[in-house]
Amino acid sequence: MSAKGEKTRESILNASYGLFARKGFKQVTMKDVCEVTNMSRGGLYSHFSSTGQLFEALLERMTEKDAMDFREQMENKIPAVVILDDVFQRMENEMKNPQDSLSMAMYEYAEIVNSDVMERLNKISEKKWKQLLLYGIENGEFQNVNVDGIVNTILYSYQGVRMWSRIISMKPKVFHSITENIKTQLLGGAQR
Amino acid sequence: MSAKGEKTRESILNASYGLFARKGFKQVTMKDVCEVTNMSRGGLYSHFSSTGQLFEALLERMTEKDAMDFREQMENKIPAVVILDDVFQRMENEMKNPQDSLSMAMYEYAEIVNSDVMERLNKISEKKWKQLLLYGIENGEFQNVNVDGIVNTILYSYQGVRMWSRIISMKPKVFHSITENIKTQLLGGAQR
């Protein structure tokens, strides 16, 4: 794809994010996407043939970007604890904006569309976290913890808080207490 | 309410559980409830005036029953670790049946209805878990852990797995790895 095409594609993904966060998946139409992107139908269809294709591309970009960030930081020998603090901080910040969550859209998408995209992206996230924990353990920064248990705790407590912050009013300290508890396990600090 | 009325009410709640689990909240009508309960419209309305009232009663009954079970076990001086194993086992069993989850219905209900029911029930669950952990700590069975952190980890990783088990195929070992990790923290077993 040309640089210009790539740029247009990016701007479509950026603009449609809010649509899916706000409306879920089912209620978003290609017409909505045309509106938020200020594009003609023809212009939009030359990039994406359906909201499903667009939504998958959006999820893939997010997941791959995150995984790449981790990889780069590890390659640059950034301490595991710095990478961890950084990502926990970002996750805690996301929690402040429940309206930006794609949870609902992902859920609806999975109910409607028979696709392995969620499985695939979930595996990428799992792998990313596993690598960070193993990197920290090898460095001697992290305790020799049960890696699978902690990775699953991080992934699913994040999803649980993200979802529930749209159901009840959720204080930032809720997710913070979870990340602090995980840090205690990883760093082997005195139990409080 | 008469004993017979109470019994009918219970059987309505039991029968409608599956409806909400399967269809979410929005798509369930009082007519659906009449069908699954084999009741007339008049009969049903003498117990519940709307699907909202019925759904709230269902959630309340579940939450209060769980909290009462915990309280009784503690009053009977059952060891905290036995209570914990028992409830983790039940949670793990629930995970085997993603189709029985009310997550989706709760989510939809919260989006549509302005009610404090979710906040209230969430507080009951939080309190129940807090009491169990404090009971175990006082007994000397559990380590002196960060109670809020662990309670939130339990509540939200449960919700996250419950939700995601409807999005991807989830092996039982995923939630098991989370409960094992929490047990390691509580019992202070050697880190693996």
Residue B160: its chain A contacts at CB < 8 A?
A: 155-163
Residue A185: the pLDDT is 95
Question: A150, A143, A136: which is closest to B191 by C-alpha?
Answer: A143
Residue A191: the pLDDT is 41
Is the confidence at residue A38, as pLDDT, over 90?
yes
Q: What 3-state DSSP class applies to B147?
A: helix
Which amino acid belongs to residue B125?
S
Query: Which positions ≥6 away from B116 have C-beta within 8 Å?
Result: none
Contact present, A110 and B168 (Cβ < 8 Å): yes
Q: Is B5 exposed, middle or buried (0-12, 13-18, 19+ CB in 10 A)?
A: exposed
* Lookup: tokens for A95: 């929690």
Tell me the per-residue pLDDT of A98-115, one tens digit each, with 9 for 90 and over: 888 898 899 889 888 888
Q: What is the largest CA-CA distance in chain A?
A: 61
Q: What are the residue ranges of helices labelled H in chain A? A: 3-23, 30-37, 41-45, 51-75, 80-95, 103-112, 117-138, 147-164, 172-187
d(CA B186, CA A178): 15
Considering only the beta carbons, identify the residue of B149, B178, B184 that sits closest to A156.
Answer: B178
Go through the domains of chain B in sequence order and give each one's CATH number: 3-59 (1.10.10.60), 67-187 (1.10.357.10)
Considering only the beta carbons, identify the residue of A149, A150, A160 that sits closest to B156.
Answer: A160
Tell me the per-residue pLDDT of A54-69, one tens digit each, with 9 for 90 and over: 999 999 999 998 889 8
Is the confidence at residue A134, as pLDDT, over 90?
yes
Residue B143: its chain A contacts at CB < 8 A?
A: 191
Q: Which residue has the tokens 């995923």?
A: B174
d(CA B81, CA B167): 32
Residue A190: the pLDDT is 47
Tell me the per-residue pLDDT of B50-106, one tens digit each, with 9 for 90 and over: 999 999 999 999 999 888 989 999 999 999 999 999 999 999 998 988 888 898 899
Shortest alpha-carbon distance between residue A141 and chain B (Å): 15
Residue A189: the pLDDT is 67
Residue B189: the pLDDT is 67
- DSSP characters over B29-93: -HHHHHHHHT--HHHHHTT-SSHHHHHHHHHHHHHHHHHHHHHHHHHTT--HHHHHHHHHHHHHH
d(CA A73, CA A85): 13
For the segment A4-8, the average pLDDT, to the nearest whole number, is 90
Task: Tell me how far CA of residue B144 lies from CA of A8, A125, B88, B140, in angstroms.
Answer: 55, 32, 20, 9
- Residues of chain B with pLDDT below 70 are 189-192
**Do residue A119 and residue B169 have CB atoms under 8 angstroms apart?**
yes
* Lookup: tokens for A127: 């792998």
Residues in A 107-126 with any Cβ partner in B closer than 8 A: 107, 110-111, 118-119, 122
